[in-house]
Amino acid sequence: MIGQERAGDETTAGPGRSLCPVARALDLVGDRWTLLVIRDLLGGQKRYGDLLASAEHIPTNILADRLKRLERAGLLERIRYREHPPRFEYRLTAEGRGLGRAIDALATWGLAHFPGTVRAIPGSDELDRAR
């Protein structure tokens, strides 16, 4: 599990600002860019350039940081597709795909509250079938 550490026989919440699961989730994915990277990866594995080409124009330094953070947290994995220079594809792990329902809920809410918006990810039924 994310952020779980063993302390003797007890499981502790590890470092963080709170024991609240919502606060802990927001510590990891609570900024705008991280959720958009996860949104883009829900459609399948992507290369760095694919993620950079997102309509929201994520800055390169922020994209690189978010990819590293998500990999350290176990939410995505890097797959090397070229040795020289090293190039990688990124794909969500099962734990990362578990965020699909939360992002789907945000997309559904956004569709209802912001006329003219369009869904950029599959609905939760499609996400469940893809697992």
The CATH number covering residue 68 comes to 1.10.10.10
Which of these, 56, 2, 1, lies nearest to 29 by C-alpha position? Answer: 2
Same domain for 72 and 26?
A: no
Q: Give residue 14's pLDDT.
A: 59
Same domain for 111 and 50?
A: yes
Same domain for 68 and 94?
A: yes
Q: CA 51 to CA 56: how far, in whole Å?
A: 10
Same domain for 70 and 7?
A: no
Residue 1 pLDDT grade (very low, low, confident, very high; cuts 50, 70, 90): low
Same domain for 56 and 95?
A: yes
Q: What percent of the chain has pLDDT over 90?
A: 69
Q: What is the pTM of this model?
A: 0.79
Confidence check: pLDDT of 62 > 60: yes
How big is the CA angle at 49 (ends 71 and 43), to the nearest 5 degrees?
65
Same domain for 23 and 41?
A: no
Same domain for 17 and 48?
A: no
Q: What is the mean pLDDT of residues 67-90?
A: 94
Residue written as token pair 């912001």: 114
DSSP codes joined into one string, 31-99: SHHHHHHHHHHTTS-EEHHHHHTSTT---HHHHHHHHHHHHHTTSEEEEEEETTTTEEEEEE-HHHHTT
C-beta separation of 78 from 88 below 8 A: yes
Same domain for 18 and 52?
A: no
Q: What are phi and psi of 37, to 5 degrees?
A: -65, -45
The tally of domains found in the chain comes to: 2
Same domain for 61 and 91?
A: yes
> Among the listed ranges 43-52, 86-95, 122-131, which one has the minimum average pLDDT value?
122-131
Range of the domain at 22: 1-30
Q: CA 55 to CA 78: how far, in whole Å?
A: 22
Same domain for 24 and 37?
A: no
Same domain for 25 and 42?
A: no
C-beta separation of 17 from 23 below 8 A: yes
Q: Give residue 30's pLDDT.
A: 92
Q: CA 15 to CA 29: how far, in whole Å?
A: 15
Same domain for 120 and 62?
A: yes
